[in-house]
Structure 1
């Protein structure tokens, strides 16, 4: 089976990552830098999914990005939905500072009615600006919940990118994905393609075991920490944000060897402008981020029988399974 790569950009507003979830932080000023990087990725053969939240879609900057790539939609560009509930109508009931609680920052924690209304408003905004109804969904903070699947079905979505393999956000009142590896699967007509994350060990047998049994060696007790250290266990998200190129390649090779042929390379759109996210604070760091992104795509395209894809294509083919 061919190796496939989706490039997914969390296209969102700029905010202080340590300053809470404020309704009034809705600026999008990184659009020019984002357009430049997307063009560079397209030129080397990438296909790009813009998972867009409400401030991005409704801002002048975000709309400029949409208009720049509108004629490539369905071929090299996909317009998907990305819900940040604290900046998406109908707005949460907050104090004068407009700051939502951490619990409310995960859309899956909201009532079924409110989660539905927020995704519906976002879906309508995307269709209004792009002319297309999104079929791919990415919850903000990966925050799907017990009602999300039914809501997505009701609104015509077919693909969900919200699962973050091996991750557990319960310490922040978020979802627990610690039982999930990177295997794509389908449930109730929704195809789930996890954000790629790779657990690796210095010992090949241990790497396979850790991926086949995601909850193994995830505890924080002394013995578990010692065993992880002895086995050289490392975990890498497939993202150019803070992960060196050699580690991205190692993570991708590992997943492909395990038979997980659909990979997701992801990053947050404000990272393209220094100072907007913790991953890029200077021009030099941006150049490292840019080079890592482009060099990984070039490396992937040199693999035998490799293919770039848009997640929406999984809906057209009813899913594809490794």
Structure 2
């Protein structure tokens, strides 16, 4: 099976039934709280925001959106998180998936280093053991076998695809298209497509890349120009203000609703069949991510989602689920 870190081969883009139309999913990196400005550690994290998952689930249900909670080891071992999420999952109003943070996920046979925070950099047996432990714990806790995976820090590696297959995972959503993490020992996704594609020739593992759009007069040259621009301090910000080039991810974390709407327009106009929204669950409580520092920021996050999803509806982009995608994709 081809490595997830490698751009797909020609002809691997997924095709969907005609009635699928254009859709979006909402993925939640459901994880522990930790200080993003400090080195990673196996201990010292908290789960104070977990109570806020109930409000967020109610919010999604009111909009007829089925969130996909990609849970990691601290979350799946939280009784409160299980009590909140299990009824929604059982009712089909939420879906559950896997998110591997290797530094807090047993077995603990590696040093905690920046390179080892990308699970794909670990020895195959260790990556497999960590992922298998988490997958099994998720199924035991929620009563559902998870079908979708995201590597923490988007850190896939040469063995990840095979390991996912062994664990019955049918969908990966670790590829953050138009981003390159190689400077920090992570993967380079700058050459990967935005549209869903098959990782393997047998069509058993489907990739759903996170949606990141280049906007501006130079957007067609974004993949070649943006990496160069990042090497010059402040140049990306200057180009954005001038309307020349901007990289926009579909997340309320650090992206304004005006920017998101521009990205949605481009995605629709370019014929992208699936949009992947994402954010980190600790943003549901002020003080745990750089993006939500106070109650006003939290109100802005919820307003962002309301406006983004309302705009999707106006552009004919409807919500879907992992189950809906798997039923609609052509093998």
Q: TM-score, normalised by structure 2?
A: 0.86
2:35 maps to 16
1:178 maps to 190
1:197 paired to 2:209: no
1:85 paired to 2:96: no
1:63 maps to 82
CA-to-partner distance for each residue in 1:135-156, whole Å, 9 max, x for gaps? 1000000000000011111111
Q: CA deviation at 1:119?
A: 0.6
2:312 maps to 300
CA-to-partner distance for each residue in 1:42-87, whole Å, 9 max, x for gaps? 21121210000011011123212223413223xx311000000000
1:311 paired to 2:328: no
Greater CA deviation, 48-57 or 230-239? 230-239
What secondary structure is seen at the aligned counterpart in 1 of 2:48?
Answer: coil
CA contact (8 A) 2:253 2:279 kept: yes
Structure 2 unaligned runs (5+)? 1-17
- Equivalent residues in 2 for 1:115-264, closer than 5 Å: 115-188=127-200, 189-201=204-216, 203=217, 206-210=218-222, 214-220=223-229, 229=239, 232-264=244-276
Looking at structure 2, the residues matched to 89 and 26 of structure 1 have their Cα atoms a distance apart, in angstroms, of: 15
Looking at structure 2, the residues matched to 294 and 179 of structure 1 have their Cα atoms a distance apart, in angstroms, of: 31
Q: CA deviation at 1:219?
A: 1.6
1:281 maps to 293
Q: CA deviation at 1:25?
A: 3.4
CA-based RMSD: 2.3
CA-to-partner distance for each residue in 1:129-180, whole Å, 9 max, x for gaps? 1111111000000000000011111111110000001001111111101112
The aligned length equals 306
Looking at structure 2, the residues matched to 294 and 25 of structure 1 have their Cα atoms a distance apart, in angstroms, of: 34
Q: CA deviation at 1:289?
A: 1.1
CA-to-partner distance for each residue in 1:93-119, whole Å, 9 max, x for gaps? 44xxxxx10001000000110000011
CA contact (8 A) 1:27 1:59 kept: no
1:36 maps to 55
| C-alpha distance 163-312 of structure 1, shift in aligned 2 (>3 A) | farther
Looking at structure 2, the residues matched to 93 and 104 of structure 1 have their Cα atoms a distance apart, in angstroms, of: 7
CA-to-partner distance for each residue in 1:166-220, whole Å, 9 max, x for gaps? 001111111101112312110222111111111111x2xx43453xxx3444224
CA contact (8 A) 1:159 1:192 kept: yes
CA contact (8 A) 1:179 1:215 kept: no
Q: TM-score, normalised by structure 1?
A: 0.88
Looking at structure 1, the residues matched to 254 and 104 of structure 2 have their Cα atoms a distance apart, in angstroms, of: 26
